[in-house]
Amino acid sequence: MAAHRYWRLIGLSTFANADINISQLQLHDAAGRVDDLSVLSCSTPPLYGALSNLSDGLFTTYAGWSLAQYGVPAFSINWDFGASVTKDVIGIKVGAGSVASEFLESSVLQYSDDGAYWDTDVALSLLNLQWVAAGLTNALFQAVPTA
């Protein structure tokens, strides 16, 4: 994977088509977490909690959206690393919310160099995630390098 300025999650879903309630969304490169200095934004403000809760490093704060909010094609959670800054994202961590049925089951990770044209990172698109327990994080979902 190459480094890019913009990253986003689209196509979010839960197992029960319920609200989404998560505590963290962390992007990682080979050295560790990289999203802490990016600008996090969302196409729709959370119904409850704050968007900043997803990057505060705490698994006791949450952000959540209703199905009516995240179930539309235009919904996205976005990271912008800033002008002249690119990151080679190889993994993502998702922090569990308080209810299993509201955990992020799947999503698609995309990247862009201009914020207008997007490509899908198939290796890092998340499918069939399992809720671990409130306040815990799933392991780092990492792309498998190809030769």
pLDDT band at 100 (very low <50, low <70, confident <90, very high): confident
Q: What is the pLDDT of residues 4-62, one digit of tens each?
A: 999 999 999 887 889 999 888 999 888 889 999 899 999 999 999 999 999 998 888 99
Q: Which tokens go with 69?
A: 């909010």
pTM here is 0.87
- The one-letter code for the residue type at 77 is I
Q: What are phi and psi of 55, to 5 degrees?
A: -125, 15
Q: In angstroms, what CA-CA distances link 13 with 19, 80, 116?
A: 9, 23, 23
Mean pLDDT score of the chain, rounded to an integer? Answer: 85
Is residue 70 classed as helix, strand or coil in its secondary structure? helix
Query: Do the beta carbons of residue 76 and residue 10 sit within 8 Å?
Result: yes
**% pLDDT > 90, the chain:** 50
Query: Do the beta carbons of residue 122 and residue 98 sit within 8 Å?
Result: no
